[in-house]
Amino acid sequence: MSDLEIRPAAVGDLSAIVAMLADDPLGARRESPDDLSPYLAAFRRLADDPHQHVMVAVRADGVVGTLQLTVIPGLSRRGSTRSMIEGVRIHEAERGTGLGTRMIQWAVDESRRQGCQLVQLTSDVTRTDARRFYERLGFVASHVGFKLAL
C-alpha cells in the first residue's frame, strides 16, 4: 500500500465520496449521488469547522476510502475530549486489503495527537461485517445507541 495517501478531502473528491456512501443497501436508500448540492453545502460547513476532519484514501486511480473524524470537547470524564468516527467507507475493489484498518488507525492516531481520551463510533446493527471489523480493531460494543429522525 505504498502508493496510498490519506489526506483531507477536497471538493473535487465529493462525487467519489458520495458514490461510496451510496454503495451499500443502507446508503442506497438514503444517499443521492445524482445531486451533489446538499453534499457540497455540508462539505463547506465541515471545512469551516476545525473539529471536523473529512479524510480520503487516494491511490493513483482515485479515491478509494473515506471517513469523517469529529473531535468533541466535553465536560464528562473529567473534561475529556473524545472523537467520533463516522461515514467509514472503503471502495468495493479495496475491501479486504487492509485499507480500512489503515484508515481507522489514522483516525485513532489523530485522536491521540489531538488529546482525545476516547474514540467512539457507531455501526448499524445490520452491518455485521463492519461490527466484526471494529471489534477486531479493539473497539467494544459497550453502549446502546438511539436515533430520532427529524
Residue 93: alpha-carbon gap to chain centroid: 18
Quickly state the pLDDT bin for 2 (edges 50, 70, 90): low
Structural domain for 64, as ranges: 5-136
User: Which CATH number do you get for residue 116?
Assistant: 3.40.630.30
Domain assignment present for residue 13? The answer is yes
Instruction: Report pLDDT digits (tens) over 128-149.
Output: 889 999 999 999 989 888 888 8
Domain assignment present for residue 143? The answer is no
Domain assignment present for residue 141? The answer is no
Do residues 46 and 68 touch, judged by C-beta distance below 8 A? yes
- Which one, of 12, 20, 22, 64, lies nearest residue 43 by Cα? 12
Domain assignment present for residue 24? The answer is yes
Of 8 and 26, which is predicted with more confidence?
A: 8
Domain assignment present for residue 146? The answer is no
- Measured distance CA(94)–CA(89) in Å, rounded: 10
> Which grid coordinates belong to 149?
429522525
**Looking at the 3D structure of the chain, how many domains does it have?**
1
Domain assignment present for residue 86? The answer is yes
Instruction: Report pLDDT digits (tens) over 66-120.
Output: 999 999 999 999 999 999 999 999 999 999 999 999 999 999 999 999 999 999 9
Sign of CA dihedral 106, 107, 112, 118: negative
Do residues 69 and 107 touch, judged by C-beta distance below 8 A? yes
Model pTM?
0.92
- Which one, of 65, 62, 61, lies nearest residue 106 by Cα? 65
Quickly state the pLDDT bin for 53 (edges 50, 70, 90): very high
Domain assignment present for residue 69? The answer is yes
Domain assignment present for residue 128? The answer is yes
